[in-house]
Amino acid sequence: MGEWYLFKDLLKPESERFGSPVQKVLDPEEADFFYVPFFSSLSLIVNPARPASGSDKPLYSDEENQVALIEWLEEQVYWKRNNGRDHVIMASDPNAFYKVIDKVKYSVLLVCDFGRLKEDQGSLVKDVIVPYSHRINTYSGDISVDSSWAIGSAKSYIFNCIRNSLCSSLLLFVGGKIRDLLFQLLENEEDVIIKHGTQSRESRRAASHGMHTSKFCLNPAGDTPSACRLFDSIVSLCVPVIVSDSIELPFEDVVDYRKIAIFVESNAVLKPEFLVSMLRGITTERILEYQKELNEVKRYFQYGVPNGTVNEIWRQVAQKFPFIKLSINRDR
C-alpha cells in the first residue's frame, strides 16, 4: 500500500513536508505533474471480490473500479490536455490496472518492476521503479562483531546456539518456478532454513525473526522479477542474495546494490552445492561491510520515515520532467 504514504504526504501542509523535492500547488495551471490518488493495491488485496453473506452482489469489484477511474479521468480537462502524460499513478502491485493498463500507459507509472508490462506500457525512461512496502519490522539491533564472530546482538543468539553452522545464515521463502527448483535443491542442506506459510500475523512474526537472525536472505524471482521479501531483507539487514538474470531495482542512481546485495545468475544457482559453498566462503568481515551499507541505505526502502521512500520517489518523478515535457511537445 505504498500509495497510501504518497497520498498522506500530499495531504500534509507544506510546512510539514520536510525535505520534499516537490511542492504541492492548489492551482492546476501551475502544476508540472498531477498525482492520481487511486489505491491500486486493492487489485491484490480484495480481488476477486466475494459477495456479502446472503447476497449475489460483490462487496467490491476491482475491475469496475478501474473502469470507473478511467471514465472519470477521461472527463478531466488536465488529463485530456496531454493524454495523461503528466499524471503520476502508483501501480506497484503486479495486478494493478490489469484491465485498463493501455489507458494509462502514457502516464508516469510507479511500478515495482516491468514483469507484467509490455514494452509499450512501461519504460525506465518515463516510469519510476519503487520498492514494495516492507512487511517485516526494521532491524534495530547493533551492528557489531562479537567474540563468537556473530553479527549484531539479535544474530549472535542463533549463531551461539548452532556454532559454526550457517543454519541461521540462509533463509529461503518458497514460491515461483525458480524458488521451487531451489527448494528441491536445498531442502536437504543442513545449513539452510526453508520457511513455508501463508499471510498472517504469526507468519510475519516468524519471518521477521528469521530475517533478523540470518546473515543471508535468498531472493529468487517468483511470479514477477521482484518481491516484497527483497525489501524486507534490506530493512532486516539480512544480506539479499538476488537470483535473477535481469531485474530493475529502485533508485539505482543513488543506491549501489553491489555494496548491499549478492547477485547470482539463475543457471549458476541451480548447480548442486554452488550456492551454499559460495556463501560459506564470504568472510565475517565482508558480511559486516554489507550490513553497514544496508544500514546506511535502508531509509530509501522505508515509506514511513522522514526523508525515506516517499521523498525519493518524488525526486525520481521530478527527474522525469524534461522527458515528459519533450514528449508532450512532440505530440502537439
Are residue 172 and residue 223 in the same domain, yes or no? yes
Q: Is residue 182 part of a domain?
A: yes
pLDDT of residue 199: 63
* Mean pLDDT along residues 153-173: 37
pTM confidence score: 0.85
* Mean pLDDT along residues 188-216: 72
Helix (H, G, I), strand (E, B) or coil at 41: coil
What's the pLDDT band for 167 if we cut at 50, 70, 90? very low
Boundaries of domain holding 104: 2-132+305-331
pLDDT, tens digit (0-9, with 9 covering 90-100), for 65-94: 999 999 999 999 999 999 999 999 999 888
Are residue 110 and residue 13 in the same domain, yes or no? yes
Range of weakest confidence among 43-52, 208-217, 275-284: 43-52
- First and final CA of the chain: distance in angstroms? 36
How many distinct structural domains can be found in the chain? Answer: 2
What's the pLDDT band for 61 if we cut at 50, 70, 90? confident
Q: Is residue 71 part of a domain?
A: yes
d(CA 170, CA 149): 16
Report whether pLDDT(11) > 80: yes
Question: Which uninterrupted H or E stretch holds 294?
Answer: helix 284-297
* Mean pLDDT along residues 146-161: 33
Mean pLDDT over the full length of the chain = 82
Sign of the CA dihedral with 65 first, then 71, 76, and 77 last: positive
* Mean pLDDT along residues 41-61: 65
Is 264 within 8 Å of 325 (Cβ atoms)?
no
pLDDT of residue 157: 26
Are residue 105 and residue 223 in the same domain, yes or no? no
What one-character DSSP code corresponds to residue 155?
A: H
Q: Is residue 148 part of a domain?
A: no
Name, of 74-83, 171-180, 241-250, the range with top average pLDDT: 74-83
d(CA 164, CA 149): 10
Are residue 182 and residue 103 in the same domain, yes or no? no
Q: Cell numbers 512532440 label which residue? A: 330
pLDDT of residue 145: 42
User: Which of 218, 222, 230 lies closest to 264 in space, CA to CA?
Assistant: 218
What's the pLDDT band for 159 if we cut at 50, 70, 90? very low
Are residue 14 and residue 128 in the same domain, yes or no? yes
Q: Is residue 259 part of a domain?
A: yes
pLDDT of residue 224: 65
Are residue 95 and residue 59 in the same domain, yes or no? yes
d(CA 33, CA 320): 10
Q: Is residue 147 part of a domain?
A: no
Report whether pLDDT(311) > 90: yes
Grid coordinates representing 203? 507468519
Phi then psi for residue 241, to 5 deg, are: -105, 100
User: Which of 76, 110, 85 lies closest to 248 in space, CA to CA?
Assistant: 110
Q: Is residue 137 part of a domain?
A: no
* Mean pLDDT along residues 227-243: 90
Phi then psi for residue 35, to 5 deg, are: -90, 130
User: Which of 70, 65, 68 lies closest to 80 in space, CA to CA?
Assistant: 70
Are residue 95 and residue 171 in the same domain, yes or no? no
pLDDT, tens digit (0-9, with 9 covering 90-100), for 95-119: 889 899 999 999 999 999 888 888 9
* Mean pLDDT along residues 175-186: 71
Top pLDDT among 71 and 206 is at 71
Q: Is residue 75 part of a domain?
A: yes
Range of weakest confidence among 17-26, 293-302, 316-325: 17-26
* Mean pLDDT along residues 260-280: 88
Are residue 232 and residue 316 in the same domain, yes or no? no
Is 92 within 8 Å of 110 (Cβ atoms)?
yes
- Quick one: how far is CA 248 from the chain centroid? 11
What's the pLDDT band for 200 if we cut at 50, 70, 90? low
pLDDT of residue 298: 96
Grid coordinates representing 276? 551454499
User: Which of 132, 139, 165 lies closest to 44 in space, CA to CA?
Assistant: 132
pLDDT of residue 156: 30
Are residue 271 and residue 249 in the same domain, yes or no? yes
Grid coordinates representing 296? 546506511
pLDDT of residue 194: 66
d(CA 225, CA 228): 11
Task: Report the percentage of the chain scoring pLDDT > 90.
Answer: 46
Q: CA geometry: angle at 172 spanning 147 and 157, to 5°? A: 25
Amino acid at 231: F
Are residue 105 and residue 9 in the same domain, yes or no? yes
Please state, in angstroms and as integers, the Cα–Cα distance from residue 29 to each residue in 77, 90, 107, 182, following that order. 11, 22, 18, 54
Q: Is residue 234 part of a domain?
A: yes
Helix (H, G, I), strand (E, B) or coil at 145: strand
What's the pLDDT band for 186 if we cut at 50, 70, 90? confident
Grid coordinates representing 233? 531483507
Are residue 102 and residue 127 in the same domain, yes or no? yes
Q: Does residue 48 have a cis bond before it (omega within 30 degrees)?
A: yes
Q: On the CB side of 298, how many CA atoms lie within 13 Å of its CA?
A: 23
Report whether pLDDT(258) > 90: yes
Q: How many residues does the chain have?
A: 332
Are residue 294 and residue 322 in the same domain, yes or no? no
User: What CATH number is given to the structural domain containing 267?
Assistant: 3.40.50.2000
What's the pLDDT band for 275 if we cut at 50, 70, 90? confident
